Structure formats: structure tokens, C-alpha cells
Amino acid sequence: MNSLAYGSFATPEEFVEFVSDLAPKTAAFDCDGTLWYGDSGMKFFYWEIEQGLLPTEVAQAAIDQYEEYLAGRISEDDICAEMVQVHRGLRLDKVLSYAERFAKSNVIPQYFPEMKRLVAVLQHQHCDIWAVSSTNSWVIEAAVREIGIPANRVLAVRAEIENGVITDRVGEITSGAGKARALKRALNSPPDIAFGNAIFDVEMLELAREPLVVNPRADLLKIAADRGWRVYQPQIAAITSSTA
């Protein structure tokens, strides 16, 4: 197998063995594009509109906002908040049921097999594993439950709840520097290892003793090359073809 296809690692097995041999006590994983293929936050947004979860006027306004984000006129933090705030006024239990359905059909089948194996190996080593994401907590918690990561080890974008109803008050945005800030508050010391795929993971990767870039976008790949960070490229073609 061509080692160049896997960046710093010749095979998936070599990648898992490398991390296992480090025996990290704490590990932080980005989710979208790192644990699984694709952007679950964006996909959930359009899926829930198709499912009729959001009122028509709310959905259209949110679509307009997302197009502004794609055009670079709205910040990453603002759109992350908006993707949660669009649920204001909805009952939490209803949104949770939709998130469970979505995760089961649209996220769990997209897991990179070697990332699932890696998490299982680290759990066997009693590593404290954290999932850190800029996607809403409802989808992320439902998705990572599949690999044994509990809700109290998820750092994702959350809305405050009042009497079972979602409000428009959003907690910390766990993207970019927000990922590192959230981890600093959650942990007594920096994570031993962190995994990410995008430029919004840089601060989290910098925080870790061992940064490891997985399935990188072009912007993060350049940073990884400049800083000498190890890179691993999962077999994306196998995931996309098997779920097509």
C-alpha cells in the first residue's frame, strides 16, 4: 500500500498502534471529519428542515444566514450559535428524538473504522476520552454514544433549557480557540493527545502534548507540514462508496 496515501503512517494498523503505544491518559477528538466523514452540523441543519422540524419562516431565515456564512460574511462562531438558536421554542425531547434518528442514519454509518478501533483501544487502556465539536450537543452526544463516549465527556455547542424548552441562550462556542478554552476548564492539565482535521482545531491541537492531524483539509495540512505534526489519512473512498 502506498504510504503517501496515509501521510505519516503506512497503514491504519500502524496509526492505531502508534497512538496505543503512546498510552495517553487523556485524549481529545474533534468529531466532524475526524471521527467520521462529513459535517454532521451542516447535514443535520438541512435534514431537519426537510423533516419539517423547523417552522418555515425560521428555516428560510436560517438558510439565508448559512449562505452568508458560506460567502464569508458571517463568522464561524456566529453560525455555530445560529445552528443551535434556530431551535428556540422547541421542546428538548422532540429535538433529541430527531437528533437520535439523524445520528443513526447519517452519522454512525460514516465513522472511519480505524477511528472506532482507536477509541476502543484507548478505552481499554483507561484513557479519559473527550469529544470536542462545534456542532450542536444533541447530535454529537447521540453519535459518540455509539463508541462509548458519555455525554459528560462531550464539549459541544449547547443551548440553555427552561421547563423542557430550548431557549436562544447559547453557551460557549466550541470552535477554534473555544475548543482549547473548554478543554482547559474541563481538565486539570492539557490532553496528552488531540485529533483534528480543520483549521478550527488548531488551538486544540496546539494545547495537546501530541497533536495528530486526521483527514486534514488543505489549510490544516499546510500548518501540519510547517510544524512537523503527524498526519493520518483514513480510507475515505471506502466510507463513501459503502454508504452511497
Nearest to 173 by CA among 184, 153, 157: 157
Cell 510544524 belongs to 227
Cell 492539557 belongs to 190
Q: Determine the Cα–Cα distance for residues 230 and 34; give it in Å rounded to an integer.
A: 14
Q: What is the pLDDT of residue 112?
A: 97
pLDDT band at 236 (very low <50, low <70, confident <90, very high): confident
pLDDT band at 87 (very low <50, low <70, confident <90, very high): very high
CB atoms within 10 A of CB 152: 8
How confident is the model over 195-233, as pLDDT tens digits?
Answer: 999 999 999 999 999 999 999 999 999 999 999 999 999
Nearest to 201 by CA among 79, 35, 74: 35
Domain parsing of the chain, residue ranges: 3-242
Q: Determine the Cα–Cα distance for residues 219 and 125; give it in Å rounded to an integer.
A: 33
Residue type, 9: F
How confident is the model over 123-142, as pLDDT tens digits?
Answer: 999 999 999 999 999 999 99
Q: What is the pLDDT of residue 235?
A: 78
The three three-digit cell numbers of residue 204, written as one number: 486544540
Q: What is the 3-state secondary structure (H, E, C) of the chain?
A: CCHHHHCCCCCHHHHHHHHHHHCCCEEEEECECCCECCCHHHHHHHHHHHCCCCCHHHHHHHHHHHHHHHCCCCCHHHHHHHHHHCCCCCEHHHHHHHHHHHHHHHHHHHECHHHHHHHHHHHHCCCEEEEEEEEEHHHHHHHHHHHCCCHHHEEEECEEEECCEEEEEECCCCCCHHHHHHHHHHCCCCCCEEEECCHHHHHHHHHCCEEEEECCCHHHHHHHHHHCCEEECCCHHHHHHHCC
According to CATH, the superfamily of the domain at 3-242 is HAD superfamily/HAD-like (3.40.50.1000)
User: Does the pTM exceed 0.75?
Assistant: yes
Q: What is the pLDDT of residue 244?
A: 45
Distances in whole angstroms, Cα of residue 137 to Cα of each of 12, 57, 143, 173, 193: 29, 24, 10, 11, 22
pLDDT band at 90 (very low <50, low <70, confident <90, very high): very high
- Asked if residue 98 lies in contact with residue 107, where contact means CB atoms within 8 angstroms, the answer is no
Mean pLDDT of the chain: 94
